[in-house]
Amino acid sequence: MRRFKIILLITVIASIIAGNGIQRFLPEKKIDERIYLHEIAPDLKFSEKKTNPPHYISDEGIAAFNSYDIVPTIRGYAGPIKILLGLSPDGKIIGIKILGHKETENYVHYMETPSYLQRFLGKSIHDPFEIDKDIDGISRATVSVGAMAKTIRESSRIIASSVYGIDITEGGGLHWAAGINWLWYLLVFSSAFPFYFVTRKSKQFFRIRDVSLIASILVIGLYISSPFSILHIFNLLLLRPSSSLLWYVLIISTGLSILIAGRFYCGWLCPFGALSEFIGRLPSTKWNIPVEIDDRWREAKYFLLGVVAIVVFLTGRVDFGNYETYVTLFSFHGNFLTWSLVGITLLANLKIERFWCRYLCPVAALTGMLSRKVSGYPSRHDCPIGNKPAPLIAECIRCNRCYTTVKLPATSRGTS
């Protein structure tokens, strides 16, 4: 395991350095806005782009502009959302086209559809643009939709004031960033974390873990639809912070739990891991995989994470790292291939305990690599992840089923 830590760490650092060098020397791909002008304002001809603020103007007085030129600091879950807008002299939106974003496609696919974008047409700069009031929200994409609404509102108001001299009356709270999803996540986390320590002292509270697993499926998976993802780490390392408080809560709480309790998130809070474990408990004959083969297959998740990290950091494209089954499952969106992977990895639990967690999960690889050495986890026959006796601590999900305060031989303490 030590060699994997070193190799993967060197790989990530080298990829980040190389990726920054490539992005620095390669010119940024510019969007040719003019080819999209006819989409937001058919049959109109626009002047060359004017400055202060940057915009195009037609003979009919319609202004067209890239929102990123006007309000570049407004961010969604993974960065700014660039939108080409058309605005009439009376301050109404007459055209809209999303030019680019770095949001997770699974969650925002509906936001990009013409049927949803058309709901912004005819809206006035004086409207509040509040989610679930005058702007329809999208389940599982609240932060992204809120960022788009704020981007449209603020950029349109600046253009209306600067180009048309319209007096803007401040109004509308745009409370999209003040959602309580982070509170729901924190409630589940803060309820489970103390019982991690309780179950280390008394096995009579062990069933509390099942309650935590059920809560993770219902709350983290289905309700707020925000399981911790390797995409959070990719965006963090690429210096692409989110505007979502939930994003920070996920990263900080998971990081804290890794430092204190290793793969606590995997064993207590991951909704996909919980679902996998419950499926694995159904009556079925498990495959008896030789330890040598099982160990070799478990290394696959580290190798896969390393390859994906190279691709992501060299290209700067976080979406290239989106291979996590739980993103497809809990966003309720994917293609035939991704849904097939979800089905296969869930059904595989009938034969191999927590199949995805053992062999493929990038979060399992990350949290395992960062887990510190600790004694007291010798494993046992009913280990929910099928660990061998005296497992590496990197493979222990800290369910505490086998935890003992009896001093173990040095060979059974696990190394990482």
Mean pLDDT of 233-257: 90
Same domain, 260 and 303: yes
Q: Specify if 152 maps to a domain.
A: yes
What's residue 412's pLDDT? 41
Domain span at residue 74?
Answer: 31-176
pTM for the structure as a whole? 0.80
Q: Choose the final residue of a domain: 142, 157, 176.
A: 176
- The closest alpha carbon to 383, from 413, 353, 356, belongs to 353
Residue entry with tokens 């003979």? 59
- The closest alpha carbon to 81, from 119, 107, 56, 46, belongs to 107
Residue entry with tokens 């991690």? 196
Same domain, 241 and 382: yes
Same domain, 219 and 146: no
Q: Specify if 237 maps to a domain.
A: yes
Same domain, 86 and 186: no
Same domain, 131 and 189: no
Same domain, 340 and 199: yes
Same domain, 261 and 385: yes
Q: Choose the final residue of a domain: 125, 157, 176.
A: 176
**Would you say residue 410 has pLDDT above 90?**
no
Q: Specify if 321 maps to a domain.
A: yes
pLDDT digits (tens, 9 = 90+) for 153-184: 999 999 999 999 998 765 544 444 446 889 99
Half-sphere exposure of 303 (CA within 13 A, CB side): 7
Q: Specify if 342 maps to a domain.
A: yes
Least confident of 18-32, 203-217, 282-296, 326-340: 18-32
What's residue 177's pLDDT? 42
Q: Specify if 89 maps to a domain.
A: yes
Q: Specify if 24 maps to a domain.
A: no
Same domain, 227 and 262: yes
**Would you say residue 141 has pLDDT above 90?**
no
Q: Specify if 26 maps to a domain.
A: no
Q: Choose the final residue of a domain: 132, 160, 176.
A: 176
Q: Which residues of 254-276 are buried (b: 16+ CB within 10 A; e: fewer)?
A: bbebbeebbbbbbbbbbbbbbbb
Q: Which residue has the higher pLDDT, 8 or 327?
A: 327
**Would you say residue 206 has pLDDT above 60?**
yes
Q: Specify if 22 maps to a domain.
A: no
Same domain, 305 and 385: yes
If one counts the domains in the chain, the total is 2
Same domain, 132 and 250: no
Same domain, 186 and 262: yes
Same domain, 43 and 103: yes
At 407, is the pLDDT very low, low, confident or very high (cuts 50, 70, 90)? low
